Amino acid sequence: MPVGAFHPPFFAQTDTIARTDFLYFSFVTLTTTGYGDLSAAGNAGRALSVSEAILGQVYLVTVVAVVVSNLGRPAPRRERRAAEALDRAELDELGEIDRPVPEPDGT
């Protein structure tokens, strides 16, 4: 379907539509910025706008939740090393660490 083949026009502000207008409109709607320079004219366009805005909010909330949940969590490698160091320290206090036996010189 050609870009300008929508009847009524997709955007209320302009009759001439370029592909970049659709991309711009989708990006502004997904990021929920909503500058207002382009708005959907028909019911199909409005339904698409609402769907994109909801999808943008769900995406934003999901990303923020993942970032926040990982902020207080130590890196797995550091956590494992800390646990191993603690285990070694506890075993050393109990005298249960196997210390290497010196090799005889053979003399």
Give the per-residue pLDDT at 95.
63
Domain membership of residue 42 as a residue range: 19-94
Within a domain: 34: yes
Residue 10 lies in a domain: no
Residue 106 pLDDT: 56
- Residue 31's closest CA among 53, 61, 9, 6? 53
Q: What is the pLDDT of residue 92?
A: 67
Instruction: Give the pLDDT confidence of 49-78 residue by residue, as tens digits.
Output: 888 888 888 988 999 999 998 887 766 676
Q: Where are the alpha helices (DSSP H) in the chain?
A: 19-30, 43-71, 76-94
Residue 84 lies in a domain: yes
Model confidence over 20-49: pLDDT tens digits? 888 888 888 877 777 878 888 888 888 888
Is 17:10 a contact under the CB 8 Å cutoff?
Answer: yes
Phi then psi dihedrals of residue 40, to 5 deg:
-70, 140
In this prediction, residue 3 carries a pLDDT of: 47
pTM: 0.52
102 within a domain of the structure (yes/no): no
Rounded to the nearest angstrom, the gap between the alpha carbon of residue 3 and the centroid of all alpha carbons in its chain is 32
Tally of domains in the chain: 1
Report the CATH number that the domain containing residue 58 is assigned in CATH: 1.10.287
Asked whether 92 and 101 are in contact (CB, 8 A), the reply is no
pLDDT the model gives residue 73: 73
Residue 105 domain flag:
no
In a domain, 87, yes or no: yes
Q: How many other CB atoms are found less than 10 A from the CB of residue 29?
A: 23
Q: What are phi and psi of 93, to 5 degrees?
A: -65, -35
| Any domain includes 5 | no
In a domain, 63, yes or no: yes
SS3 call for 19: helix
